[in-house]
């Protein structure tokens, strides 16, 4: 177990971040203000706490005898409970450091309360587990509306999807076939004593995630970090050399790069966020690839499009990101059930706008990192029904359209639509 004199400082900072998320701010925005040298420990404490948010909320509510505490103290208790259950610290250390953290967040009168609640948790853990098993949000660690929606959509798989959403995400790599074969890269990893295994055409899964600067050949562009589910996109577009291709919501450029690694196409990478467009350029430069990168809104083609149609379009549209909630664990607590209707409207509008830029006979791949049918099958079915020239095709990789998150990949949805001549 890890003994850390700095744990009190880390708990205090994590509590401030988690309290901001509980108040409605995104985790990414809250983390942006942290020091680089403390980010590793803070990522563990904040992400771990938010993955268990339903559980730690319920435990504090069960054990607090004086009603709901101050928001910052409550967030400190949540992070301390995660630290206790993580197994990284001794129970004595976690409790004592949480008490010290009260002073660091200027909540000195709360020391006795924090100490008492955490020690009550340790004494009553068995009885609490019985109670929590009957509370859906505490048991599955997702909002109730999210649980109910998945139960209806996936009667046999909903529990496994929820459980996967509470785990640490896998680390998958995409080998750049312009540089080397995946089997050759596996051999390089083995030589560095990095355990990994092959998945898919270019995929490699690292069994114990590590920083990218420890990956052989990363700086040279031999490999990129990309989830196996995201790697499906390039293979589902039926790319051929010489085609004009648009990646309509391209940042940070992973799918753009994968397409260029597989085929010699004329690529246009578009994104509405100017800062994220710069990230596309950096990604392509590291990999030794070239594309036209544009800052523009796919809904406003008159601002950036030259009128020449595209043979292939990847529409990786904005969505609830429900399929990648374990990577962005604040998502499931910041989202609301009515967000899906807003996203579905935007998705339909994007499909309509991009359809005008697709050449007759061309193909558009609709993609989301969502597992909610309302953003996926429902949007595609409505579009195909309303657009006479649209025909949905089987996916070229032969796999099902919807992937739910599991131990090796996140949740993604794909639909291939052809424009009839």
Sign of the torsion formed by the C-alpha atoms of 107, 113, 119 and 124 = negative
Tokens of 361: 């006979």
Sign of the torsion formed by the C-alpha atoms of 8, 13, 17 and 23 = positive
Cis geometry, peptide bond prior to residue 252 (ω within 30 degrees of 0): yes
Q: What are the phi and psi torsion angles at 376 (to 5°)?
A: -115, -95
| Known active-site residue 369 | yes
DSSP lists the bridge partners of residue 316 as 367
| Residue 108, SS3 per DSSP | helix
* Given 102, 249, 319, 369, the catalytic residue: 369
The string over 189-198, giving b where at least 16 C-beta atoms fall within 10 Å of a residue's C-beta and e elsewhere, is: beeeebebee
Closest CA to 317 of 233, 259, 385: 233
Tokens of 291: 């594309």
Quote the CA–CA distance of 18 and 163 in Å, as a whole number.
21
310-316 and 358-368 beta bridge pairing: parallel
Following CA atoms 220, 222, 224, 227 in sequence, which dihedral angle do they give, to the nearest 10 degrees? -170
404 DSSP 8-state letter: P
Contact, 172 vs 204, CB < 8 A? yes
Tokens of 240: 């051929």
| Residue 77, SS3 per DSSP | helix
Active site residues: 369
């Amino acid at each position: 177990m890890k003994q850390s004199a700095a744990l009190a400082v880390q708990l205090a900072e994590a509590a401030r971040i988690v309290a901001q998320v509980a108040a409605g701010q995104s985790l990414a925005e809250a983390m942006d203000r942290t020091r680089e040298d403390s980010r590793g420990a803070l990522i563990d404490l904040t992400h771990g706490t938010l993955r268990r948010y339903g559980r730690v909320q319920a435990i504090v509510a069960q054990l607090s005898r004086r009603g709901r505490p101050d928001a910052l103290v409550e967030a400190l208790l949540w992070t301390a409970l995660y630290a206790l259950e993580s197994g990284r610290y001794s129970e004595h250390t976690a409790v004592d450091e949480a008490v010290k953290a009260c002073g660091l967040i200027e909540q000195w009168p709360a020391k006795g309360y924090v100490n008492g609640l955490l020690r009550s948790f340790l004494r009553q853990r068995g009885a609490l587990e019985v109670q929590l098993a009957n509370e859906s949000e505490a048991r599955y660690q997702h909002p109730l509306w999210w649980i109910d929606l998945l139960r209806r959509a996936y009667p046999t798989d909903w529990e496994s999807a929820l459980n996967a959403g509470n785990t640490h995400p896998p680390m998958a790599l995409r080998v750049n076939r312009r540089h080397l074969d995946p089997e050759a890269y596996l051999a390089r990893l083995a030589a560095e004593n990095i355990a990994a295994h092959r998945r898919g055409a270019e995929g490699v899964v690292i069994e114990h995630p590590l920083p990218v600067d420890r990956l052989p050949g990363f700086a040279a562009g031999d490999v990129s970090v990309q989830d196996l589910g995201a790697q499906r996109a390039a293979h589902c577009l039926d790319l051929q050399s010489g085609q004009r291709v648009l990646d309509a919501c391209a940042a940070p450029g992973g799918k753009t790069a994968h397409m260029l690694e597989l085929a010699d196409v004329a690529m246009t990478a578009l994104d509405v966020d100017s800062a994220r467009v710069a990230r596309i350029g950096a990604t392509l430069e590291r990999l030794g690839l070239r594309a036209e990168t544009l800052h523009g809104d796919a809904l406003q083609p008159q601002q950036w499009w030259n009128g020449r149609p595209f043979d292939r379009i990847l529409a990786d549209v904005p969505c609830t990101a429900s399929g990648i909630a374990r990577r962005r664990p604040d998502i499931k607590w910041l989202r609301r059930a009515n967000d899906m209707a807003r996203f579905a409207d935007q998705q339909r509008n994007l499909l309509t706008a991009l359809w005008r830029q697709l050449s007759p006979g061309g193909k558009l791949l609709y993609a989301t990192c969502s597992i909610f049918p309302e953003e996926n099958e429902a949007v595609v079915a409505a579009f195909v029904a309303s657009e006479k020239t649209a025909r949905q095709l089987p996916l070229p990789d032969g796999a099902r359209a919807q992937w739910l998150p599991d131990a090796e990949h996140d949740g993604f949805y794909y639909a291939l639509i052809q424009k009839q001549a």
